[in-house]
Homo-oligomer: A and B are copies of this chain.
Amino acid sequence: MDGPLKNLLVLDLTRVLVGPYCTMMLSDLGARVIKVEAPEVGDDSRNFGPFVEDYSAYFMSLNRGKESIALNLKNSDDKKIFDKILAKADILVENFKPGTLEKWGYGWKDVCEKYPKLIYASASGFGQTGPLKELPAYDMVVQGMGGLMSVTGQPNSEPTRVGTSIGDITAGLFTTIGINAALYDREKTGKGTFIDVSMLDCQIAILENAIARYLSKNEIPKPMGSRHPSIAPFEAFKTKDSHIIIAAGNDKLFEKLCNVLEMSELFSDEKFNTNSLRSKNMDELKLILENKLSSKITTDWVRLMEEERIPCGPIYNIKEAVENPQVLSRNMIVKAYHKVIGDFKLAGNPIKMSSYKDETTRGDIPDLDEHRGKILKEFS
Contacts and interface: CB of A to CB of B under 8 A. Distances in A.
Nearest to A275: B47
A285 interface: no
A303 to B, nearest CB: 12
A95 interface: no
Contact of A61 (B173, B211, B243): B211
A325 to B, nearest CB: 6
Contacts of A145: 313-316, 321, 324
Given A161-B225, A180-B184, A214-B318, 7 more contacts: A58-B209, A130-B329, A135-B311, A163-B224, A165-B209, A177-B180, A205-B348
A330 B171 CA distance: 15
Contact of A151 (B147, B163, B347): B163
B152 A163 contact: yes
A48 interface: yes
Q: How many copies does the complex hold?
A: 2
The residue among A4, A183, A214 with the most chain B CB atoms within 10 A of its own CB is: A4
9 contacts: A50-B209, A60-B216, A130-B330, A145-B316, A147-B322, A148-B163, A166-B206, A170-B170, A215-B345
A211 B319 contact: no
A158 interface: yes
A81 interface: no
Interface in A206-229: 206-221, 223-228
A165 to B, nearest CB: 6
B215 A333 contact: yes
Nearest to A356: B193
A161 B321 CA distance: 16
Interface stretch (A68-76, A136-144, A262-270, A369-377): A136-144
A217 B50 contact: yes
B318 A151 contact: yes
B149 A49 contact: no
A160 interface: yes
Contacts of A137: 247, 311, 313
